[in-house]
Amino acid sequence: MNFPNTLMIYLSNRCDMACRYCYVAVNQGEPRYLCVDQVRDAIDSFLRLPEEAPRKIFFLGGEPLLRWSVLKASILHGRKSSPSLQYQVYTNGLGLTPSRLRFLSEHRVDVILSQDGEKGTND
């Protein structure tokens, strides 16, 4: 039996940009947010599965940095529970500050900057 080795967590359906090319239905309908307890429960359930490969957790959105306190608490919880977890945060970069980058770096979180679309869209 194969068990998943990747957990993708969408912290919200909100974003501070409204890119026409975005494949996620952000900023549409009612705002939806995951709270810290929901994310911790998801991480704990994920970690209870048998480990067959290195485990990864991806934080996406909307824009995950809009939920900084939830993101930070989730990373700290996951690191305490399983120090070898690999993390990636997919972001548009607008919410990156020196202190946030320092935290992400200290906790070995890969930061993936999303810039998609055609040249005219991005310029």
Interacting residues of 23 by C-beta distance below 8 A, sequence separation 6+ = none
Q: pLDDT tens digits, residue range 18-38? A: 776 666 766 677 888 999 999
**pTM summary value:** 0.87
Hey, is 89 helix, strand or coil?
strand
Cα 7 to Cα 37, 43, 46, 60, 63: the distances in Å are 16, 8, 7, 11, 17
Residue 90 confidence (pLDDT) above 70? yes
Res 11: pLDDT:
93
Q: How confident is the model at residue 111 (pLDDT cuts 50, 70, 90)?
A: very high
Residue with tokens 């005219």: 120
Distance CA 66, CA 79 (A): 21
Residue 49 confidence (pLDDT) above 70? yes
Reading the block at residue 31, the tokens are 């705002």
Q: pLDDT tens digits, residue range 64-83? A: 999 999 999 999 999 999 98
